[in-house]
Structure 1
Amino acid sequence: MARGIEIRDAHFPGRAPIDAYGNGGFRFADMSHRGSILCLPSGIHGWDRQDAVGLTAQDLERVIAEADQIEVLLVGTGTEIRPLPEELRAVLRAHHIRSDPMSTGAAVRTFNVMLAESRAVAAALIAV
């Protein structure tokens, strides 16, 4: 039986700063990922979002699943800052997560600083 290419969910099992972003992806931990990512206490996961318009709690279910380890969620909304829908902010608040939308570049820089300070931070980063 011939085996084809096995496609798995992208996941880096650990915390790592983001070394670079742009050209539709991110570099971290001597690796690169094309597309958006979620940076969580459990690791860095590929995220199937191409823009921040209409984000829902379902889009951030991995974040919510780790809510007990997250105080702040930085949301990199692409090249432009987009506010999060009130319904999503309410769900995050109910899980004691403060959300902060900003451009992806600003979110990467802020995430790296907060990670270096060992803060309980997560990031949802739309690729630019």
Structure 2
Amino acid sequence: MRMNEISYDNSAPVDGYGAGFFRIGGKRYDGAVVASASGVQAWGGYVDTETLTALADALDVLFVGTGAEIAHLPAEFRTLLEQAGIGVESMASPAACRTYNVLLSEGRRVAVALIPV
């Protein structure tokens, strides 16, 4: 088996998560968060599109973690992000964390908005 070292450059991967929190880059964040190459910040959930659209020029795709289970995104939320030029993919938060980490390690322009499990 061949092992490859993963480099995240200056970005912080999601290290773990639990009931109501995420650990990103070794630091614990309670509640919903957004992580991208520009850092980690609190996120107000589906009503907080401004935090996400501010990242539009710095990313190609946004993964939205919908909590413990996959759920449909509110139509208005998705529409506002797509109008800002952001590709949006929804999945359960654990899957969103994993997918974000993989693409981040590839140097891709990604962000993740996460609702706690």
Q: Which of these two proteins has the greater Rg computed from alpha carbons?
A: 1
Aligned-pair Cα RMSD in Å: 1.4
Alignment of structure 1 residues 1-128 onto 2, 5 Å:
15-49=11-45, 55-56=46-47, 59-128=48-117
Contact 1:41 1:66 in 2 (8 A): no
Whether the 8 Å contact between 2:11 and 2:36 is mirrored in structure 1 is: yes
After superposing on structure 2, the runs of 4+ consecutive aligned residues of structure 1 that deviate more than 3 Å are: none
Structure 2: stretches of 5+ with no match in the other structure:
1-9
The aligned residue for residue 52 of structure 1 is none
TM-fit CA distance, 1:68: 0.6
Give the TM-score normalised by structure 2.
0.84
8 Å Cα contact 1:38/1:124 also seen in 2: yes
- Structure with higher RCO (Cα < 8 A, 6+ apart): 2
Find the counterpart in structure 1 of residue 3 from structure 2. Answer: none
Does the C-alpha gap of structure 1 residues 23 and 86 become closer, same or farther in structure 2, counting only changes over 3 Å?
closer
Task: Measure, in 1, the Cα distance between the counterparts of 2:62 and 2:38.
Answer: 14
Distance (whole Å) between structure 2 residues aligned to residue 35 and residue 85 of structure 1: 19
How many percent identity over aligned positions?
44
